Amino acid sequence: MKNSILNISFLILILITIGCDKRDTLIYSLDSPYPISDDQFSIDTLISGFAVPYGLVFLSENDFLISDRVGKIFRFKNETLKEISGAPEVLTFKDPGLPMIVHGGLMDLSLHPNYPQVPWIYVAYFGKDERGKVARFKLINDEILDFENIFQTRTIGYYGNGMRIVWQDDSHFFLNIGASNYTTKEKPIMVSQDLNEDWGKIHRLNQDGSIPIDNPFIEGQSQNPTSIYSYGHRDVQSLILEPSTQILYGIEHGPKGGDELNQILPGKNYGWPIFTYGIHYDGQTVSLISEDSASKISVLPMHYWTVPTSDGGRAIAPSNAILVKNSSISDWNDHFLVTSLAFRRLLKYNPDTDETYGLKIEGRIRSLFQESDGNILLLVERNDLTRDNGMLVRVKKK
């Protein structure tokens, strides 16, 4: 498809059906919950044809592999989109009132750090057997070969959500698996605190999926060590490893408000559902203890987002983020770019000033990536339930 530069005001309408008649298929973006930053950039649409595009890897220049949460993997090479064969079967969950995927599916893609010399491509997904999984495969002539599952959760669950892979080095990678259950103070669900469960955890694995011998020992584990690197997470949907400092960041969904930015430390408890800055969707309290008590037994977030409302606040629902360095758009350098599913807009957060801004980029953006030249790629979900018109777009200096 020939590239086309979009007028930002017409960038993309966005899919969401909360509060709308089920017959509606197109829903417009919401106003930004934060002041709009007047950054200058242009946007190219590279290709459309996706439902819920999720993961992307750079095979080479102008050659991308893209996963779609509905269970497909595409190759976009030299402006041509082609579905490749051999993708794993996945399980997806839909809320009875929402004709959209809310849990499960095919999620992240990742290349081995020494690719193509080490030809493994990694994929995270929620399997038909209701287990979170990581597999690796080789891509030969647009076909998946030598597919092998190298990790799966020890138990089945409904919680498979937001799985991302980030490499620590050429031998170890981190993996997050969510546990976004409907817990309240009166009826707490402690899956994320249970060290015999893999849900609601960040895991550290060897490149073959085995457990590193230097993983942290956490008091209460049934064996030493396990794949668990940190615990007490609700639904981490983004992992960011800052290369110069090796700091690992996690961006996490709260319930109704209380979305978090955390620095992830080995063996630490991040508190869910013992403490959260959010509340349950019906207004009930979730936290079991106070903030002061939580600070003594868990790691509190570096920052959290709750958009003030008359009924107790609203979440931004961050699906992905990057920490921008050496971008062609200088206003974004040293900022976190954060996608907001709830407001269907790209946000930027300045960790030095603790300020969040909205950007003039609208849409239910699922993932974003920085290219080697500093430009930013966005994967945007379809905005029409009757069409696969999700897009890959490039944002660059104007």
Question: For the segment 316-330, what is each residue's pLDDT rounded down to a tens digit?
Answer: 999 999 999 999 899
Tokens of 90: 């996945």
Helix (H, G, I), strand (E, B) or coil at 266: coil
Distance CA 202, CA 42 (A): 36
If one compares 97 and 287, the residue with the highest pLDDT of the two is 287
pLDDT given for residue 98 in this prediction: 63
Please provide the average confidence, as pLDDT, over all residues in the chain.
91
Looking at the chain, list the stretches that DSSP marks H as alpha helix, in order from N- to C-terminal side. 291-297
Mean pLDDT (whole number) for 77-81: 95
Mean pLDDT (whole number) for 256-283: 97
If one compares 266 and 96, the residue with the highest pLDDT of the two is 266
Distance CA 124, CA 198 (A): 14
Least confident range from 176-180, 190-194, 306-310: namely 176-180
Mean pLDDT (whole number) for 284-289: 97
pLDDT given for residue 99 in this prediction: 63
pLDDT given for residue 159 in this prediction: 66
- Is 60 exceeded by the pLDDT of residue 19? no
- Is 80 exceeded by the pLDDT of residue 15? no
Distance CA 311, CA 282 (A): 9
- Is 80 exceeded by the pLDDT of residue 275? yes
- Is 60 exceeded by the pLDDT of residue 5? no
Q: Nearest to residue 314, comparing CAs of 37, 104, 102, 31?
A: 31
- Is 80 exceeded by the pLDDT of residue 10? no
Least confident range from 129-138, 151-160, 184-193: namely 151-160
Distance CA 197, CA 202 (A): 11
Q: How far is CA 124 from CA 88, 168, 172, 178, in A?
A: 10, 17, 15, 12
CA 220 to chain CA mean position, Å: 29
The domain segmentation of the chain, as residue ranges, is: 1-50+317-398
Distance CA 164, CA 156 (A): 19
Percent of the chain with pLDDT over 70: 91
Look up the pTM and report it.
Answer: 0.92
pLDDT band for position 310 (50/70/90)?
very high
Least confident range from 158-167, 240-249, 376-385: namely 158-167
pLDDT given for residue 83 in this prediction: 97
Whose tokens are 């930002």? That residue is 8
